């Protein structure tokens, strides 16, 4: 079921399967919408209720007028979950969604039973990444969202998967066009200033799962390995045939893991 609710003074687009003994929240990444999880949700164990939202600035949800910080997005998510009657859940965040999931766990630890960073890290942006985000913001202000989608979406997949998944890649590009460019720019501004969450994650006591693609063009194997070693209390799922979108590139393996991991 899909519907809209108002949270933190913005409209929020929600998808909720509404039934299940456990609750799983799936958060999409940058330039995506909740629809990116459609095929994946169908693979999740039917005993699990699955909730998704379009994060602020993306899809059909509203946006903060200036900066969609990850903390603001987490506040919106928390309000949405409470309105859906959710008091505890497992949270899976893909890429940018992982930053929001971390912020939710930091702000409202009572609601997060388990946390999965799906092709995501607790690290802040390095200077080179902040400069790249500034360039994208400039392009968005010039009305070039379509250009950004064409350039960015294919790079989320392992090179050898681009041909096999050409239809899905085109679908993500097309759906991305519905987002407000100013909202996307506000998200880039927010990601630039997000805090380092490494210390928080060191002290995180709930189940923690990392999912890394071994052919990820955004998170190097060096970075992924360092995080796996730094957080020995975390489970790590390595995807040998995935880039930055393992839930699309290796859906069965990841769905089975997420289903069994959800408390």
Tell me the domain boundaries of the chain: 2-261
The answer to whether 153 touches 166, Cβ cutoff 8 Å, is: no
The answer to whether 199 touches 76, Cβ cutoff 8 Å, is: no
User: Residue 119's pLDDT is what?
Assistant: 98
User: Residue 210's pLDDT is what?
Assistant: 98
User: Residue 183's pLDDT is what?
Assistant: 98
Segments of the chain with pLDDT less than 70? none
User: Residue 68's pLDDT is what?
Assistant: 98
User: Residue 129's pLDDT is what?
Assistant: 97
Count helices and strands in the chain by DSSP H and E runs: 11, 8
Please state the CATH superfamily assignment of the domain spanning residues 2-261 in this structure: Alpha/Beta hydrolase fold, catalytic domain (3.40.50.1820)
The answer to whether 211 touches 239, Cβ cutoff 8 Å, is: yes
Rounded to whole angstroms, the Cα distance separating 216 from 38 reads 22
User: Residue 14's pLDDT is what?
Assistant: 98
* Beta strands 89-94 and 22-27, pairing class: parallel
């Amino acid at each position: 079921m899909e519907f809209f609710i108002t949270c933190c003074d913005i409209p929020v687009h929600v998808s909720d399967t509404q039934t299940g003994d456990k609750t799983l929240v799936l958060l999409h990444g940058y330039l995506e919408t909740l629809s990116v999880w459609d095929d994946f949700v169908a693979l999740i164990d039917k005993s699990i209720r699955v909730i998704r939202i379009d994060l602020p600035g993306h899809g059909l949800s509203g946006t903060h007028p200036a900066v969609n910080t990850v903390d603001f997005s987490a506040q919106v998510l928390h309000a949405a979950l409470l309105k859906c009657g959710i008091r505890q859940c497992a949270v899976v965040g893909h890429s940018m969604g992982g930053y929001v999931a971390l912020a939710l766990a930091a702000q409202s630890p009572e609601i997060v039973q388990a946390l999965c960073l799906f092709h995501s890290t607790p690290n802040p942006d390095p200077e080179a990444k902040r400069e790249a985000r500034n360039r994208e913001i400039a392009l968005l202000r010039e009305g070039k969202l379509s250009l950004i989608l064409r350039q960015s979406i294919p790079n989320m997949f392992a090179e050898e998967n681009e041909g096999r998944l050409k239809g899905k890649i085109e679908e993500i590009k097309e759906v991305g066009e519905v987002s407000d460019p100013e909202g996307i720019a506000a998200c880039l501004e927010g990601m630039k200033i997000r805090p380092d969450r490494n210390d928080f994650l060191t002290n995180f006591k709930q189940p923690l799962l990392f999912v890394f693609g071994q052919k990820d063009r955004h998170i190097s194997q060096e970075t992924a390995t360092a995080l796996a070693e730094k957080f020995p209390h975390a489970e790590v799922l390595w995807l040998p045939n995935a880039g930055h979108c393992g839930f699309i590139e290796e859906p069965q393996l990841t769905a089975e893991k997420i289903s069994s991991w959800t408390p």
